[in-house]
Amino acid sequence: MNNDVFALWVYLARTPLLWLTVTILAYCLCDRISAALHRTPLANPVLMSMCLVGVLVRVSGTPYATYFDGAQFIHFLLGPATVALGIPLYQNRQLVMRAILPMLCALVAGSLTALVSAVAIARLLGAAPSIVTSIAPKSVTAAVAMGISGRLGGDPGLTAVLVILTGILGAIVVTPLMNRLRITDKRARGFAAGLAAHGIGTARAFQVNPLAGTFAGIAMGLNALLTAIVLPLLL
Amino acid sequence: MLLSLGLILLCQLVGEAIAHGTGIAVPGPVIGLVLCVLLLLARDRLGRRVPVELADGTFEQTGRGILSHLSLMFIPAGVGVIQRFDVLAGNALAITAALVVSTVLSLAVTAWVFSVVAGRAE
């Protein structure tokens, strides 16, 4: 009997189906918990799901590569989701065009702040050059940041992790921080979330308000663009 | 629904082709985002000559459907943290300080500049 269970586990553990299912169900559960807690920033669905799935992968002794074989189908959707950000952008195009000047000013100021402060602090605290390079594009959406980091001699896998951690951090901090700074403009709050915390910040902004989400999506796209151009000059 | 999904993928595909073909620094999906906006603007111009699915709101609905689960898509890369505990622990102070300070600073600067410039313009 025990042998049968083991054989079944060996079979299931090798199919992409297992970890794809686990990832989706873990997210559904954590999203429910987040909703039940009235979307309080600390109960971030990405953070909770990551911990839950991470523990399951670790405890079952599954190599990350095996996990990713199943989860890659979800990871792939990041691309189409970025394209789909064009839809709220189109729907709010008049509002966006009216705010073009504040957007461009905030983009340049915010993007440079994110880059320079991350690089300066990491260097000051004695991080190795390859780690500094891996940290630098932390505010940019995962796929793009990994590309930049790899090209400049960083570690793309580490960059992906740092990008996600930055996103979670930004998504948790943004609402209380904006309240503290007394910034009430939903466009400014959303734009900051997307610029500093890419897609996870954008997901958070959409949770709070569709207009904030739209501006977050634009900021995420623009910052990916600007960082890809500026970072090679800076390092 | 299926046509909408196909068109979204097509935007990304053309975006990737442009990015790789020309070697410009702009990421493929971001070019795809621009193409998606252009597609919707072109639709408005063409009026009744476009497929029903593009005109009846299905396209927008499909996009919203994908976007409503944006958080889910970060989990696979995020779980990669289990592979990097050693690097993270070895550089805990530098990484934590850089992430926390830089994220808070860039959030504050971005929102502040946006609202100051918007306040002057309006």
Q: Residues A194-221: pLDDT tens digits? A: 999 999 999 999 989 999 999 999 999 8
Picking from A115, A189, A138, the residue whose alpha carbon sits closest to that of residue B112 is: A189
Predicted confidence (pLDDT) at residue A229 exceeds the cutoff of 90: no
Q: Which residues of B touch A75 (CB under 8 A)?
A: 73, 76-77
- Do A9 and A40 share a structural domain? yes
ipTM rounded to 2 decimals: 0.91
Tally of CB atoms within 10 A around A157: 18
What confidence score (pLDDT) does residue A144 get?
81
For residue A140, the SS3 value is: coil
Task: Tell me what the mean pLDDT of segment A126-145 comes to.
Answer: 91
Whole-number pLDDT of residue A109: 97
Instruction: Flag if B71 and A169 touch (Cβ within 8 Å).
Output: no
Q: What is the mean pLDDT of residues B25-37?
A: 87
Residue A211 sits in the same domain as residue A133:
yes
- Per-residue pLDDT, averaged over B32-43, amounts to 94
**CB B111 to CB A178 under 8 A?**
yes
Please list every residue in chain A whose beta carbon sits closer than 8 Å to the beta carbon of residue B1: none
Mutation target for A interface from B20, B84, B103: give the one with most A CBs within 10 A: B103
Domain of residue A70: give its range.
2-76
Q: B122 pLDDT band (50/70/90 cuts)?
A: low
Report the alpha-carbon distance of residue A26 to residue A119 in Å, rounded: 34
Residue A1's pLDDT band (boundaries 50, 70, 90)?
low
Of A193, A199, A203, give the one whose Cα is nearest residue A170. A193
pLDDT classification of A170: cutoffs 50, 70, 90: very high
Q: Distance, in angstroms, between B77 CA and closest chain A CA?
A: 6
Return d(Cα A165, Cα A171) in angstroms, integer: 10
> What mean pLDDT, rounded, does chain B reach?
91
Q: Give the gap in angstroms from C-alpha A12 to the nearest C-alpha of chain B.
A: 18
- In degrees, rounded to 5, the angle at the alpha carbon of residue A66 between the alpha carbons of residues A60 and A71 is 100
A59 plus A89 within the same structural domain: no
- The answer to whether A176 and A46 are in contact (CB under 8 A) is no
pLDDT, tens only, A75-108? 999 899 989 989 988 998 998 899 999 999 999 9
Do residue A105 and residue A54 come from a single domain? Answer: no
Is residue B118 predicted with pLDDT exceeding 60?
yes
For residues A72 and A109, state if they share a domain. Answer: no
Number of domains in chain A: 2
pLDDT at residue A151 is higher than 60 = yes
Q: Tell me the average pLDDT of chain A.
A: 92
Domain shared by A92 and A65, yes or no? no
In this structure, the answer to whether residues A95 and A198 fall within a common structural domain is yes
Residue of B2, B69, B79 to mutate when probing chain A, most A C-beta within 10 A: B79
